[in-house]
């Protein structure tokens, strides 16, 4: 297993819709293991394959530090099939480090996917688990949480981000 590089905004791979996984093989399972190790090392509660530069529909999530009843999950080709309620909470992202903002998401969702063995699963998520599922599935569609902000907040983020990059490059 290896810790992979997490791609950061504005990397192009983060803006693309990821391709469906066509089959489960040793390479895919190695990527799953590497993504899990990378997520824990970051540390984060979820990671999508595009965040490590692989544009396929694969996510890993472990919110057990926040919700002990929910173990690590691996979802291949996940799709949201039900959503209800809305809640606004502060959200961040490993691909947009050191920035958080309130994002409105469904409070409860149901997702259909394949597990790491290729078996079909339907997962129901509420609260933080629902938020993590939606956040990671957004990555598969080329959507970052900052894309869900109002245009004013998004522009504020971009200005602040560009300034931080200039400061980093000036100090290098």
Choosing from 37, 68, 136, 167, which is the catalytic residue? 136
Q: What is the biggest distance separating any 2 CA atoms in the chain, rounded to whole angstroms?
A: 51
The Cα angle at residue 19 between residues 81 and 77, in degrees rounded to 5: 35
Distance CA 68, CA 119 (A): 24
Q: Which two tokens stand for residue 16?
A: 């693309």
Joined together, the tokens standing for residue 113 give 């996917």
The residue ranges of DSSP E strands in the chain, in sequence order, are 46-48, 58-61, 73-93, 96-114, 120-126
| Strands ordered across the beta sheet of 120-126 | 46-48, 58-61, 73-93, 96-114, 120-126
Tokens 């290729």 found at: 118
Is 12 known to be catalytic?
Answer: no
Give the catalytic positions in this structure. Answer: 136
């Amino acid at each position: 297993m290896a810790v992979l590089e997490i791609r950061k905004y504005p990397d192009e791979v983060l803006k693309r819709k990821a391709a469906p996984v066509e089959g489960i093989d040793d390479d895919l399972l190695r990527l799953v293991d590497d993504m899990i190790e990378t997520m824990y090392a970051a540390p984060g509660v979820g990671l999508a394959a595009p965040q490590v530069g692989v544009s396929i529909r694969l996510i890993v999530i472990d919110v057990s530090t926040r919700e002990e009843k929910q173990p690590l999950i691996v979802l291949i080709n996940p799709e949201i099939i039900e959503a209800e309620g809305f809640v606004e909470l502060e959200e961040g992202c490993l691909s947009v480090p050191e920035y958080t903002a309130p994002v409105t998401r469904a409070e409860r969702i149901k997702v259909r996917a394949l597990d790491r063995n290729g078996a079909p699963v339907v997962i129901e998520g509420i609260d933080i688990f629902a938020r993590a599922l939606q956040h990671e599935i957004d990555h598969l569609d080329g959507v970052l949480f900052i894309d869900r902000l109002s245009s004013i907040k998004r522009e504020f983020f971009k200005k602040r981000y560009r300034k931080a990059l200039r400061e980093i490059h000036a100090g290098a």
